[in-house]
Amino acid sequence: VSAAPGEVWIVGAGPGDPELLTLKAARTLEHAEVVLFDRLVGTGVLELIPQNAERVDVGKHPGDQLEVQGQIMTLLETHARRGKRVVRLKGGDPFVFGRGAEEWAHLAQRGIRVHVVPGISSSLAVPALAGIPLTFRGVARAFCVVTGQREITSDALEDWRVYAGVDTLVVLMGVGERERIARKLIEAGRDPSEPIAFIERGSTPFERCITGTLEQAARLEVSAPAVWVCGRVVALRDQLRLE
């Protein structure tokens, strides 16, 4: 990792467990002078931030996201212009519902050099840790990762029929809207008795996997953050897990 000043590293922190940080992410953190981090970055990862680095918690609060996002972009720019080595640390992979590319574009347009360190996305790692393979020969040959958040700008992007035929469907940020999403998926043709799983706080000591069927989604007791997996692969968990 070069340590040229006045640049920004957009770094994926993985799903929570610091052991799931890449070597490159860990080395980049070692050289950081300022670290801006999100709510879902694991506490073990935050412990790797050097003592003398400035830590800025920019964990977003629901409701004022546009405003907060603007402030984050300005902060990144300001610290970079002060000649600092700035790390923008994001949960999972920065480019999977992480706004990493928006921040990159903002900085690039202002002449600030950006480097990217991809991270292990919760969409892949969290099901794996729970014993749910996203693909499996003869069961699922494709998977899709979709956000459960309502599209603010266009209803057209909210067409769940697109996802009715996907073998394995992974929904991020879907806990709060699970009743509506499950209903839309069933209306669009997904089997109401298909197995589903919500994996809460994957890769942390608080990991919990809640299983059921698609038609039961609303009744399952789940709290965010969780990765929601729909599809026949969920049933393979029984063969893969010992406990």
Ligand X SMILES: C[S@@+](CC[C@H](N)C(=O)[O-])C[C@H]1O[C@@H](n2cnc3c(N)ncnc32)[C@H](O)[C@@H]1O
Tokens of 6: 């006045």
User: For residue 10, what are the β-bridge partners?
Assistant: 88, 116
Using Cβ positions, the residue closest to ligand X within the complex turns out to be: 92
80 or 226, CB closer to ligand X? 226
* CA end-to-end distance (rounded Å), the chain: 41
Token readout for 213 is 């069927």
> Is 173 among the residues known to form the active site?
yes
Specify the residue, 84 or 104, whose C-beta has the smaller distance to ligand X.
104
Q: How far is the CB of 4 from ligand X (least distance, A)?
A: 26
Q: How far is the CB of 47 from ligand X (least distance, A)?
A: 17
* Binding positions for ligand X, rule: CB under 6 A: 15-16, 40, 90-93, 96-98, 121-123, 126, 172-173, 199, 201-203, 224-227
Tokens representing 232 are 């026949």
Instruction: Choose the catalytic residue: 60, 167, 184, 191.
Output: 60
Measured CA distances, 136 to 4, 81, 128, 142, 233 (Å) = 44, 48, 12, 9, 7
The nearer residue to ligand X, 73 or 199, going by C-beta atoms, is 199
Q: Are 122 and 227 in contact (CB under 8 A)?
A: yes
- What's the closest the beta carbon of residue 201 comes to ligand X, in angstroms? 5
Least separation, in Å, of the C-beta of 150 and ligand X?
A: 14
Catalytic residue, chosen from 24, 167, 173, 191, is 173
Residue 68 burial class via C-beta count within 10 angstroms: exposed 0-12, middle 13-18, buried 19 and up: middle
| Nearer of residues 77 and 122 to ligand X, judged by Cβ | 122
Active site residues: 38, 60, 173
